[in-house]
Amino acid sequence: MSRATLLLSLLAVLSSCDRSKIDETKWKEAGAEAVLPFKKNLKQALVAGLEDGPVEAVSVCRLEAPKLAEAQSRGGVKVGRASQKLRNPSNAPKPWMQPFLQVYETDPERREPGVVLIDDKTVGYVEPIFVQPLCVTCHGAELAPDLKAKIGELYPEDQATGYAAGDLRGVFWVELPRE
């Protein structure tokens, strides 16, 4: 074994003893995997809902989004969405997500997924959500009058409008048990 390899393996042993450090690559993979079905099902529900028109799709989204998040949250894993400009206040970011949201909001160069040790038992994962052209129907600057009325009725405190395609909309998040 060369000195360099020896040094590297020593370092590996040392860092694996440090409980405050996590294997970022491993947890990023686990986070991305856990959030994938939620993303897919949500998009599917949205696209299917939009076939009956955006007003109808709002109701679908309102009912399906929390259900899908719930369904994907098992075995101690929790998934969800959060944003700094909310439509549904129950999607408010938890304290551990705030630093990521702040970085994503302020630095367009740093938009890669992130992981953090929330506490001894839990790792948090986030990935940014960007506005696509189809999102603008319900999150853009100009909403159709009937759609605007419907959203206003269901979400009187709605802040999630004024977006353009390519904007950062928020994050998908996952809480993963460490064991």
CB of 172 to ligand HEC, least distance (A): 8
CB of 115 to ligand HEC, least distance (A): 19
CB of 128 to ligand HEC, least distance (A): 10
CB 25 within 8 A of CB 109: no
143 binds ligand HEC (CB under 6 A): no
66 binds ligand HEC (CB under 6 A): yes
138 binds ligand HEC (CB under 6 A): yes
45 binds ligand HEC (CB under 6 A): no
Using the contact rule CB under 6 A, the part of the chain among 4-12, 23-31, 54-62, 97-105 near ligand HEC is 54-62
Query: Contact residues for ligand HEC (CB under 6 A)?
Result: 46, 54, 57-58, 61-62, 65-66, 81, 83, 86-88, 91, 129, 131-132, 134-135, 137-139, 160, 169-170
